[in-house]
A = this chain, B = another copy of it.
């Protein structure tokens, strides 16, 4: 039944050989690889206003413009830096790889840990922001926002377990639809505001500020706005997905991506300023702008729906990239090896399940509120940016290939700028939640190093060398001694006795009965005689009703007589019931006993099944 349900949800298994991806040109590579970056504009401007408006009131809108300029400037620097990464890592240069390659394992792991955390936050932030786009348009859904977000994440988890490939063209549409609806909104908005000079009849009441403009305040706003730049590195990760010339296509895509973000982010910032959009808990800033521009027309709803769709696509990027990253890290033995296994649909099942679960937990803890998740976000992204840029910088210094000085300067600037941003984000958001990330990243790094050590130790211990082989051939010897624990004499335990007889001489077999009631034991002994069973029956009384420990003590007492390396064999009979729930009617003594016995290396446990027909 479980198997059928799985098949229905996940689909038929796929063969190893079916693992191939479609290759894209720029037209489809752009929307598919850049949904994460472009969708960030749906919340980045709002985050700036959340900092500025309560602090300085109307003045906020002027400052917002300058901050948006800084962020766009940062974007330009990142684009130039990442073009060089694309050149150097034609097979995909994620921060983990670049940092590990050029700065060593510790920095690689730091980048890896930062990315892991940020992918999870990408899902939580994107989905809650997507839900907010919908609840802004349909306020009656506000009470169900957590439920909606969780349902979407579950839906996406199942979808990705089916092996929804990012490489499907259909995933490009939402990005284009979003771009089109946003550009329409910006152009028509500009037309209304600057040409027709139509302003809202009932202007928004902007609360008076309580602070003055300080550098700290502007830094906080800048840090919040930096969330607009998350997802930029997806293009350099995704080079293998491009058609030849892959690197050239990737670079064109990167430029286009930057242009689009620049236009939409700049445009919505200007419109927010013109309309004095004030962030509130219930209506997003984009929704406020769209309503001012279009009124409650079809286009307003189109903006909201396409915002939702691109945010879901952005979350989906995390669903395809995080499990891949986990598998790369776990192939380096820094994470449990289960992450390297592909499921029946060729997707990395464990990574997908982990991401879905953690995102749901985050959404529930933060009550589905994008704004309260934000302080945790972007720190990780910028740490990985910094490490990746520093790695590239070191690479140029080391390789000294043609034009290395020029290239080192570009990546050096990238490294410095992103590092300054990390400090700015970490410091200004520290008490609001960034401290969690500051603790989590080194914790993850340490854990990953411990995992690696564990695997290394085990590999050393398990390794079969010629010397060990020779030694083993001498030492390992099965001691001719078999114990058959039994509760009563029935067909199941009789079958175990028969099996034991084939393992060794009858005189070396002991049937062991532990009792809490000497009357019952006597009955068993009589039955033993009646059926004329030749195997020796040993009865042990357990005053504390602890059957398992009494059995183990007996086995241990036998073990003391054995040489090191010998194996005593214990034969346990097991009822096999037809339905799993029938197990509640039977003591699981056999299973417990087996589990306890296996803790000792000298004992091999044989399970002889007895299947109940009816």
Which residues of A does B touch, CB under 8 Å? 13-17, 336-338, 341-344, 451, 454-455, 457-458, 461-464, 466, 468-469, 472-473, 476-478, 489-492, 494-495, 498-499, 502-503, 516, 531, 543-546, 567, 569, 574-576, 582, 584-587, 594, 598-601, 603-614
**How many copies of this chain are found per oligomer?**
2
Query: A582 to chain B: which residues have CB within 8 Å?
Result: 454
Bound complex: CA A160 to CA B495 (Å) = 40
Given contacts A337-B585, A587-B338, A607-B607, contact A544 B344 (CB under 8 A): yes
Given contacts A15-B544, A476-B498, A492-B462, contact A610 B601 (CB under 8 A): yes
Bound complex: CA A576 to CA B344 (Å) = 28
Is B614 in contact with A604, judged by CB distance below 8 angstroms?
no
Bound complex: CA A359 to CA B338 (Å) = 40
Is B463 in contact with A490, judged by CB distance below 8 angstroms?
yes
10 interchain pairs, CB-CB under 8 A: A17-B543, A457-B614, A461-B612, A463-B490, A472-B498, A476-B495, A499-B567, A601-B609, A601-B610, A604-B606
Query: A468 to chain B: which residues have CB within 8 Å?
Result: 491
Bound complex: CA A611 to CA B600 (Å) = 7
Q: Which are the 7 A-B pairs with shortest beta-carbon distances?
A: A462-B490, A478-B502, A13-B544, A15-B543, A601-B611, A598-B609, A476-B498
Query: A607 to chain B: which residues have CB within 8 Å?
Result: 594, 598, 604-607
Bound complex: CA A611 to CA B602 (Å) = 10
Is B585 in contact with A601, judged by CB distance below 8 angstroms?
no
Q: Give, as a whole number of angstroms, the nearest-CB distance from A519 to chain B.
A: 12
Query: A598 to chain B: which residues have CB within 8 Å?
Result: 574, 576, 607, 609
Is A461 in contact with B609, judged by CB distance below 8 angstroms?
no
Bound complex: CA A395 to CA B24 (Å) = 89
| Nearest opposing residue in chain B for A344, CB measure | B544
Is B451 in contact with A472, judged by CB distance below 8 angstroms?
no
Is A608 in contact with B491, judged by CB distance below 8 angstroms?
no
Interface centre among A338, A502, A576, A586 (most CB of B within 10 A): A502
Query: A473 to chain B: which residues have CB within 8 Å?
Result: 498
Is A545 in contact with B344, judged by CB distance below 8 angstroms?
yes
| Nearest opposing residue in chain B for A455, CB measure | B585
